[in-house]
Amino acid sequence: MAGDVVTMAHGGGGTRMQDLLRDMIFPALGGQTLDAAEDAAILELPPGTLAFTTDSFVVKPLFFSGGDIGKLAVCGTVNDLAMVGARPLYLTLGLILEEGLPLDDLERVLASVAGAARDASVKVVAGDTKVVERGKADGVYINTAGVGVIPAGVEVSITRVTPGDALLINGYIGDHGIAVLKDRGDFAFDVALDSDCAPLAGLVSDMLGAGRVHALRDPTRGGLAAALKEMSSCSAVSLEVDEPAVPLREEVRAICEVLGLDPLYVANEGKLLAAVAPEDAAAVLEAMKAHLLGRNAAVIGAAGAGKPGRVSLTGEMGSSRLLRMPSGEQLPRIC
C-alpha cells in the first residue's frame, strides 16, 4: 500500500470502502464481533453496574513521542471508565479520515489502536468510517465510546471526597502536553521526553484492592489544576496541595519556565488524581508504587473542610497561592 492514499471513494459505501474494511481495518482490529459486520454489536456483560463514556480525539501531530492518536483514543476512553472504578470491556471506534491521508499512516494508527486495546484488555466491537475532503481535517479524527462494568461494592465518585482524605498522584505531571508540543517542531527543544499515554485500569484495580479510594480524576485537558478544582467543587470540600511534592521532571519544568507555562495546567494522558481515606493512604500508595504506572506516585496534599472549590498550594518557601480554574487551553490540540 506504499504510496496509496485515502480517497473520497473510501467513504462512499461501495467497493472501495469494503476493500478498506476487509483489507485493513478488520484485520487490524477484528474479532468475531467486528468481522460479522453487523450494524450493532451484541454484548454480554458480567454482573455489576454499567459504565458508559464517549470521547473524541483531534491531536496534532498524529504521531508523537510515546504514542499517537490511535493509542491516545484507546487510553483516553478506558481511563475515563477507570476513573469511576469500572473495568473497561468494549470500545467503539469512529474514524474521520481526510482525503489524501497516506494509507500507511492509517495502517500505523490502526496497529496502535489494536496494541493499546490489547494492553488495556478491551475489545473494539463496533465502528464507523467517514471520509472528508482534503483540507477539512488533520489527517485523522477519532471518536470512541467505551463500555465497562463497576463491580459490586465499588463506589468511586468525584462527589465522594471527604475532609481528611489524602490526595495522591501516580507520577510526573505535564509529560504529554510538553511531548506533543516538542514534536510539533515550533520550538527547538533538544530533550528526550515521551508522552505518558497509558491505560490506567490495572493500576486502579490494584488501588481499589489496597484501600478505600473515594474519588478519581484523570488530569487531561486543563492538567492537574483543573482536576483539583473539579474534585474540590464537585465534593464541596477545600483542597490543600504541597506544590513541591507534586512529581515534575526537570525537563518539563525547564520548558514551562522558558515558555511561561504553569506545569499544573499542562495535559496528561497517563496520570490519575486520587482521594483516599487517610487510614488507607499508605497502603494505597504502596500498591501504586508496586505497579509499573505508579512507581513515582506521591501524596501531594489533603482535603479539608474549608470553602468548597478552594484549592490552595503551598510553595517551597511556605508561601501560599490559590489555584484557579483554567479559562482556556495553554496548549491547543493535545488530545
SS3 at position 322: strand
Instruction: Please tell me the predicted confidence (pLDDT) of residue 299.
Output: 98
pLDDT in tens, the chain (335 residues): 546 999 999 998 899 989 998 899 989 987 767 777 778 889 989 999 999 999 999 999 999 999 999 999 999 999 999 999 999 999 999 999 999 999 999 999 999 999 999 999 999 999 999 999 999 999 999 999 999 999 999 999 999 999 999 999 999 999 999 999 999 887 777 888 999 999 999 999 999 999 999 999 999 999 999 999 999 999 999 999 999 999 999 999 999 999 999 999 999 999 999 999 999 999 999 999 999 999 999 999 999 999 999 999 998 888 899 999 887 766 767 78
Query: Rounded CA gap, 122 and 88, in Å?
Result: 6
Classify residue 138: in a domain, yes or no: yes
On whether the CB atoms of residues 75 and 121 are closer than 8 A, the answer is no
Q: 133 and 248 in one domain?
A: no
Grid cell 473494539 — which residue? 124
Which residue, of 118, 150, 182, is where some domain finishes?
150
Residue 209 lies in a domain: yes
Angle at 93 between CA 92 and CA 95, to 5 degrees: 155
- Say if residue 225 is in the same domain as residue 80: no
What pLDDT score was predicted for residue 3? 61
Whether 59 and 133 map to the same domain: the answer is yes
As for how many domains the chain has, the answer is 2
The residue type of 5 is V
The CATH number for 141's domain is 3.30.1330.10
> Do 208 and 142 belong to one domain?
no
pTM: 0.94
Same domain, 186 and 304: yes
Residues 145, 227, single domain; the answer is no
pLDDT for the residue 144: 98
Tell me the residue range of the domain where 174 lies.
166-322
User: How many whole angstroms separate alpha carbon 248 and alpha carbon 194?
Assistant: 14
Do residues 314 and 322 touch, judged by C-beta distance below 8 A?
no
Residue of 118, 73, 75 whose CA lies nearest to 93: 73
Same domain, 55 and 132: yes
Under a CB-based contact definition with an 8 Å cutoff, are residues 189 and 323 in contact? no
Assess whether 174 and 302 both reside in one domain.
Answer: yes
Query: Does 54 reside within a domain?
Result: yes
Q: What is the CATH number of the domain that holds 309?
A: 3.90.650.10
Instruction: Note the pLDDT of residue 24.
Output: 92
Q: Are residues 207 and 305 in the same domain?
A: yes
